[in-house]
Amino acid sequence: MAFTSWSHLRLRLPHLARTQPLTVRAFSATVMSPPSKAVVYDRQGPPDSVTRVVELPPVEVKENDVCIKMLASPINPSDINRIEGVYPVRPQVPAVGGYEGVGEVFSVGSAVKGLLPGDWVIPSPPSSGTWQTYVVKDQSVWHKINKESPMEYAATITVNPLTALRMLEDFITLNPGDAIVQNGATSIVGQCIIQLAQYRGIHSINIIRDRAGSDEAKEKLKNLGADEVFTESQLEVKNVKGLLTNLPEPALGFNCVGGNAASLVLKFLRQSGTMVTYGGMSKKPITVSTSSFIFKDLSLRGFWLQKWMSSDKANECRPMIDYLLDRAREGKLKYEMELVPFNDFHTALDKALGKLGSQPKQVLTF
């Protein structure tokens, strides 16, 4: 494909011929980014079939633009869904993959203030096109962060940890001593919920799938601060609340699985409790008993981070990201990741797609 068809990605080919003397450009020399290597896709479809790594030409750095040398960017499930074409919001193709990450300022436009070469930044709110070695976007896209932040956490701090933080704060008021319940507790959002809740003195009841290694998973979650961890089969009893020892009934629950796992969350909730759904990994619907609505007056809510960040609350997310990175630097927020060189993108993609069994989150390094 000719690069001229990539105009919406703001790519510019060098002029092949000049019709004016060089002195015409003497007063406003054009600043260009370095050439970039990028993961692109020309159509939606299976990510391992439609993505390819290509060389992109330099991009003009306009007066309000910042050129970023990317340092790290994760492969999130939502990135895969965008490429597949099943995510509610996705970039126009052809497109560069990736949605969050961390980079170092390489150069700035003449009108840019507050950012200098060498600063670390993240796109905030997240912005498409982070799977490339150099990214050029308006200065308003970039949020300067503390360079002492662990690189892999800076690259992954927005989508999952921010989701956990917002869900803990946006639905009911939780006080120290209260409890929450969640399924999908081994997910990164689930691990973040456990740690952020513990940091605030809030107890967590956690539900995981029955699978090989569940005992190890329970131990790992308890080391992160989980109060209780149950497999789904352990909850096949009439009175699940009888399994709790000294914990209060939770008023807030989180569901990222659906199906029976969502019903188990509902069983734990106290009168007038709320369950927030933010995912549906089982691809099964949520079934709620009539008695849960009538006699327990339960509420079902939903949360989608992208919608939250596109609202008038978007400007609030940057201090929250700083707060989360502070916790990561303190060792109070951690989750397992695997750093993979960008040149090994397709291996990392296979792991992210589950082709090689259960794997930690894949983070591309540039």
Q: Catalytic residue numbers?
A: 87
Answer yes or no: are the C-beta atoms of 47 and 80 closer than 8 Å: yes
Task: Tell me the backbone φ, ψ of residue 110, rounded to 5 degrees.
Answer: -65, -25
Answer yes or no: are the C-beta atoms of 66 and 108 closer than 8 Å: yes
Three-state DSSP state, 72: strand
Enter the tokens of residue 303.
Answer: 């949360």
Widest Cα–Cα separation across the chain: 85
Element (H, E) at 205: strand 203-208
State the amino acid at position 121 in one-letter form: V
d(CA 59, CA 296): 58
d(CA 169, CA 173): 7
**Strands 134-138 and 65-74, sheet pairing:** antiparallel
Helices (H), strands (E): how many in the chain?
11, 16
The number of residues making up the chain comes to 366
Enter the tokens of residue 335.
Answer: 């989750």
| Residue 333: other Cβ atoms inside 10 A | 23
Q: In the chain, what is the straight-line distance between the N-terminal and C-terminal CA atoms, in Å?
A: 25
Helical packing angle, 159-170 and 317-330, nearest 10°:
110
* Residue 66: strand pairing partners: 108, 137
Whole-number Cα distances in Å, 293 to 76, 183, 267, 269: 35, 20, 12, 12
| Residue 126: other Cβ atoms inside 10 A | 21
Residues 6+ apart with CB under 8 A from 166: 303, 305, 308, 320
